[in-house]
């Protein structure tokens, strides 16, 4: 059974820290800038990343040393598919926060690198993000995805396994774990992973090909009498 595994990488929206920006401004500028940033935040929440990017670009002309603005602009550009530009702003944000790096920034930086097929660099960023905050299953899923593309399946399997240990209801992690196990001919394990995927997936938002693949794999195993035991880790 063949299947093209893949799904869009998760990204995390950065938090907007108004006070950090406003402290850098002259008193007469604060009201206008605060209003612009509140508008940009709302635009991001509504998915209007093009307008948000315009606002952040304008504000950064007045406050160039605001890492959270570079981070937010980088995120907006990432959502717009302007990956090279997003890297510039993720890098600028990191240079200003090197002593206390933000794992969300590092993760999104890795996502942009992956989109540009700079896979070794992306892998390093996901590893760094996971080290800074090991509680986000999506980081480990994305790390595993890059390792899969780098043809390092054993390591990818470890990262997907980490993801389902962190979040036992992460359907994407369960699917990728099951698919990797299947490709490695670890079919008994793949059955359990696909069962967990099917138990947790939201069919409305899920990839139809992934859902049908998992369902067919489990059904085939059931018909052959290979399904038994408990689901779970």
- 3-class SS letters over 130-156: HHHCCCCHHHHHHHHHHHHHCCCHHHH
Average pLDDT of the chain is 86
pTM attached to this predicted model: 0.84
d(CA 63, CA 196): 48
**Residue 14 pLDDT grade (very low, low, confident, very high; cuts 50, 70, 90):** low
- CB under 8 A, 24+ apart: contacts of 40-45: 40/16, 40/72, 41/16, 44/13, 44/16, 44/72, 44/75, 44/76
Number of H helices, E strands in the chain: 12, 0
**For range 162-181, the mean pLDDT:** 96
- What single DSSP character describes residue 100? S
In angstroms, the CA 39 to CA 45 distance is: 10
Q: What are the C-alpha distances in Å from 15 to residues 71, 120, 139, 179?
A: 9, 27, 17, 34
The domain ranges of the chain are: 12-97
CB atoms within 10 A of CB 205: 7
Question: Region 43-51: what's the mean pLDDT?
Answer: 93
Burial of 84 (0-12, 13-18, 19+ CB in 10 A): exposed
User: Is residue 1's pLDDT more than 70?
Assistant: no
50 has a pLDDT exceeding 50: yes
DSSP letter string, 156-217: HHHHHHHHHHH-TT-HHHHHHHHHHHHHTT-HHHHHHHHHHHHHH--TTTS-HHHHHHHHHH
In the predicted structure, residue 229 carries a pLDDT above the cut 90: no
The most distant pair of C-alpha atoms in the chain lies apart, rounded to whole Å, by 75
Confidence of residue 63 (pLDDT cuts 50, 70, 90): confident
DSSP 8-class letter at 107: H
Return the residue matching tokens 């409305």: 204
Given this model, what pLDDT does residue 29 score? 54
CATH match for 12-97 among 3.40.50.2000, 2.30.40.10, 1.25.40.10, 3.90.1170.20: 1.25.40.10
């Amino acid at each position: 059974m063949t299947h093209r595994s893949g799904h869009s990488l998760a990204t995390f929206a950065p938090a907007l820290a108004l006070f950090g920006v406003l402290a850098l401004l002259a008193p007469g500028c604060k009201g206008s800038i605060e209003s612009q940033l509140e508008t940009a935040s709302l635009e991001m929440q509504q998915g209007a990343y093009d307008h948000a990017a315009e606002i952040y670009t304008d504000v950064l002309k007045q406050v160039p040393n605001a890492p959270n603005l570079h981070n937010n602009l980088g995120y907006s550009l990432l959502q717009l598919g302007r990956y090279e530009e997003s890297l510039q702003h993720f890098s600028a944000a990191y240079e200003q926060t090197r002593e206390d790096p933000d794992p969300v920034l590092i993760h999104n930086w890795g996502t942009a690198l992956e989109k540009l097929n700079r896979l070794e660099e992306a892998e390093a960023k996901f590893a760094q993000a996971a080290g800074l905050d090991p509680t986000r299953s999506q980081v480990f899923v994305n790390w595993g995805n890059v390792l899969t593309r780098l043809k390092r399946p054993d390591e990818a399997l470890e990262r997907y396994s980490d993801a389902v240990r962190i979040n036992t209801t992460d359907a994407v992690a369960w699917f990728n774990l099951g698919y990797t196990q299947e490709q490695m001919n670890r079919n008994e394990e793949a059955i359990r992973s696909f069962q967990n995927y099917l138990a947790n997936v939201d069919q409305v938002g899920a990839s139809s090909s992934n859902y049908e693949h998992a369902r067919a794999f489990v059904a085939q195993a059931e018909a052959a009498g290979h399904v038994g035991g408990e689901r779970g880790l």
